[in-house]
Structure 1
Amino acid sequence: MDFGFSANAFRDYGPVETVEILADAGYDGVELLFDQPHLYPPETDEEDVAEMRRALDDNDLEISNCNAFMLTAIEGFHHPSYVEADAEYRQKRIDYTREALHLADAFDAEYISIEPGGPIPDEKSREWAMETFVQSLNEVIPSAEELGVDLLVEPEPDLLIETTDQFLEFIDTVDSSAVGCNFDAGHLFCVGEDPAAAVETLGEYADHYHVEDIPADRSHEHTQLGAGAMDIDAFLEAVEASGYDGFVTVELYPYQETAEETARDAMSFLTEHGWT
């Protein structure tokens, strides 16, 4: 396994400076943020891509993932979603995802992570939301297949797909090998699951993993590694035992005010526990 750190904690830094800091901290990769103020697809041109590619090469850093989940450039983390009741508003998420796929391709990245549908609108049923999510994905799957960039759906508390079982129900309705799972250990812990056990179930669909700690009350608060109640080592042991040899990315976006220190402390945890 290799370890990356998500740039979504570094929104007070430029993307190139973020790469330099994470390389110096000892990470193997960086999760690029496809949102403002970093690499928002409609505002990212060939020169921006070339500059970032030079920074990655100069710092011997790989892309661990392309985060196309957050969309604060329009409204927030979860809106617009793939299941908005307003079709025009929903289309903004679909169009953004298509642009994100093309930007990932410009970086020669293999996948992007996306939200699992979104919050179910109050006036709509779960069945409607699932059907609408799949319809929305079907609008971008042809681009994903053509480019060779996969769409990794990330289960998250309070959104359409929260649990392992819900993801399995969803993936059975999708007729494309370009759709997989962005396995976020903390998210599954929040909804009462054991992330280590879930690796056996979801591992075959997971091309990328997120890790963070979570408080003992299982509230959805991304917490520094070792500062919460999760058994991080058991989770990483399960990932290693599965034969996975890709990236595990530390995602600690709430630590924006202390991003550099937080990234270094997370690496210290991984080092002290024998993972790097």
Structure 2
Amino acid sequence: MTLRFGYGTNGFGSHRLDDALAVIAELGYEGVALTVDQPHLDPFGTDLGARTAAVHRRLDELGLDVVVETGARYVMDPWYKHEPTLVSDTGRERRVDYLRRAVRIAADLGAEAVSFWSGTLPAGVDDAEGWRRVVDGVGAVLDEADSRGVVCAFEPEPGMFVDTVGGVLELRRRLGSPEHFRVTLDIGHCVCNEKGTVAECAHQAGELLGNVQLDDMVPDVHEHLEFGAGEIDLPAALGALLDVGYTGLAAVELPRHGHAAPVVAERSMRALRAALDTALDGSTPHHRSTRHGGGSEFNGGEEAQT
């Protein structure tokens, strides 16, 4: 078994979607993590069905698999990034509507999963109310996903209400352990925010691992970096994914590198191929994985809520 690498379209924000997909495919990626957003595939625009069908045809032409990502920054509110969320004081139904649209798009594209997150709990709201809000919202999204056979992969995000793999597993328990609910793992978050290594986080998710994002980070700073710019041991991280038998897409997540997207994507692919070769030849013990963050203070920084 080996890994299939993808690249996130949020790292190609200055490209037309057709052009971005062509570059990603030409560089040897096997899939894309498609953020449903303007200007690529606006879930609130007209003729969504026809536009989605055209994207599906293009993916097929290029031989690209796909997961659907929902980290659009201003698709619902032009003033406030990512608002409203599943835990906002108001407007949560708009986030649920957006996510249900994403599920329908994922079904039409034949996507492997649709990935989403909780949002940041507003000041003055206690954890009990936070859990109520996120359980209610995710439950409504899962109703749509179950009816269409779509996997929902929930991402723990630094600084958000659900911020660790353990938190996602607790959410799954509170939801009644639904079949279509799984985990998105961003390997950089293991350095930035988790107490465990990539290997420990991957094994914690186990067979529930439904989506993987690839990037580098440093402890306590939520900033997506190119491989080699942070503290990820990339061969060990990829080895950890192999160890747990992960078979889905593992997509590069560099949303702030669109100014040099083709060059960054090419560098990333070279780094991934070299790291995978090292992982496969056994020269890197998978169990040592990566150094992890353990600081007591988290700096969300500019990259928080990517």
TM-score range, shorter chain: over 0.9
Q: Deviations over 1:64-90 (max 9, x none)?
A: x1002324211355321001112xx11
2:239 touches 2:276 (CA, 8 Å); kept in 1?
no
In the TM superposition, 1:179-194 aligns within 5 A as 179-192=181-194, 193-194=196-197
Unaligned runs of 5+ in 2: 281-306
Residue equivalent to 1:132: 133
Q: Which residue of 1 aligns with 2:60?
A: 57
Task: Please report how far the alpha carbon of residue 197 of structure 1 lies from its aligned counterpart in structure 2 after TM superposition.
Answer: 1.5
- 2:85 paired with 1:84: no
Query: 1: distance between equivalents of 2:155 and 2:140?
Result: 18
Q: 1:46 to 1:166 in 2, by over 3 A?
A: closer
> Which blocks of at least 5 consecutive residues in structure 1 are unaligned?
none
Of stretches 40-49 and 150-159 in structure 1, the one that deviates more from structure 2 is 40-49
Which residue is equivalent to 2:234?
A: 232
Q: CA deviation at 1:58?
A: 2.1
Identity rate, percent: 28
1:204 has 2:207 as partner: yes
**Partner secondary structure for residue 32 of structure 1:** strand
- Do the aligned residues in 1 keep the contact of 2:238 with 2:275 (CA within 8 Å)? no
Partner of 1:110: 112
- Tell me, yes or no, if the aligned pair for 1:185 and 1:209 is still in contact at 8 Å: yes
Runs of 4+ in 1 over 6 A off after TM superposition: none
The secondary structure found in structure 2 opposite 1:209 is strand
Partner of 1:143: 144
CA deviation after TM superposition for structure 1 residue 253, in Å: 0.6
Aligned equivalents of 2:260, 2:216: Cα separation in 1: 17
Shift of 1:28: 0.6
In structure 2, what is the Cα distance between the partners aligned to 1:211 and 1:96? 25
Q: TM-score, normalised by structure 1?
A: 0.93
Deviates more, 1:41-50 or 1:239-248: 41-50
CA distance in structure 2 between the partners assigned to 1:46 and 1:138 by the alignment: 25
Provide the rounded CA distance (Å) in 2 between the counterparts of 1:204 and 1:274. 21
| 2:275 counterpart residue number | 273
Match of 2:44 in 1: 42
Matched residues in 2 for 1:24 and 1:218: separation? 35
The question of 1:158 aligning with 2:159 is answered yes
Is it true that 1:123 corresponds to 2:112 in the alignment? Answer: no
Contact 2:43–2:101 (CA under 8 A) maintained in structure 1: yes
Native 8 Å contact 2:209 2:246 kept in 1: no
Give me the CA root mean square deviation: 1.6
Report the alpha carbon displacement of residue 252 of structure 1 after superposing the two structures with TM: 0.6
Contact 1:14–1:38 (Cα < 8 Å) also in 2: yes
Structure 2 counterpart of 1:166, one-letter code: G
Report the TM-score, using the length of structure 2 for normalisation. 0.84
Preserved contact between residue 156 and residue 188 of structure 1 (Cα < 8 Å): no
The 3-state SS of whatever aligns with 1:222 is strand
Q: Deviations over 1:168-193 (max 9, x none)?
A: 22221012212111111112321143
Aligned partners of 1:80, 1:252: CA distance in 2, in Å?
23
3-state DSSP of counterpart to 2:107: helix
* SS of 2:222 mapped into structure 1: coil
Q: Which amino acid aligns with 1:32?
A: L
Moved more, 159-168 or 260-269: 159-168
CA distance in 1, matches of 2:239, 2:92: 39
CA contact 1:187–1:220 (8 Å) conserved in 2: yes
- One-letter code of the match for 1:248? A
Contact 1:196 1:236 in 2 (8 A): no
Which amino acid letter does the alignment assign opposite residue 254 of structure 2? Answer: L
- Return the alpha-carbon distance in structure 1 between the equivalents of residues 267 and 249 of structure 2: 19
Distance in 1, matches of 2:165 and 2:113, equals: 20
Correspondence 1:242 to 2:244: yes
* Residue equivalent to 1:94: 96
Please state how far the C-alpha of 1:222 moved relative to its aligned partner.
Answer: 0.3
2:198 partner letter: P
Secondary structure (helix, strand or coil) at the match of 2:273 reads helix
Quote how far apart the aligned CAs of 1:139 are: 1.7
Partner of 2:168: 167
